[in-house]
Amino acid sequence: MFGILGLIIVVGGIATLARGRGANPVLVGAIAVAGYSLIEFGGFYFQNFLPEEDRVFVTVAAWAWIAVVAGFVRFVVGAGRPKPDGKWSCSNCNYLNNASHVICEACQQPWRAREAAAGQ
């Protein structure tokens, strides 16, 4: 039960991050949950063939998948975009975004260097 609750919280965080990186949060969330379910429930049948002390690795593998998706969104998606040095407030709507976000979480406007924004 805790696993499912933790999954919802973590995937929610990944979806928020995905939106801030310019990825589709629904798609990223679906990939994260689908991979987790596949490993966890696939492993549920497969684990009968595993020694009892190794069954924990099914859960570990499922969470490792979540970590891979999170790492991909954080470090690969939007990596080519100009990125802020720290927390930044959107020039369009003044929403305060996290440093990891290259697109405004509230209005989807990409982050721009202050000079570039001032030139408009």
Binding-site size for Zn ion (CB under 5 A) equals 8
Q: Are 100 and 84 in contact (CB under 8 A)?
A: no
In the complex, least distance from residue 26 CB atom to Zn ion, rounded to whole angstroms? 20
Q: How far apart are CA 39 and CA 79, in angstroms?
A: 28
Q: Are 22 and 102 in contact (CB under 8 A)?
A: yes
In the complex, least distance from residue 73 CB atom to Zn ion, rounded to whole angstroms? 20
Q: Per-residue contact track with Zn ion, 99 to 118, x per CB under 5 A? A: -----x-xx-x---------
CA distances 82 to 21, 86, 94, 112, 113, Å, are 11, 12, 19, 7, 8
Q: State yes or no: residue 90 binds Zn ion (CB under 5 A).
A: yes
Binding-site ranges for Zn ion (CB under 5 A): 90, 92-93, 95, 104, 106-107, 109
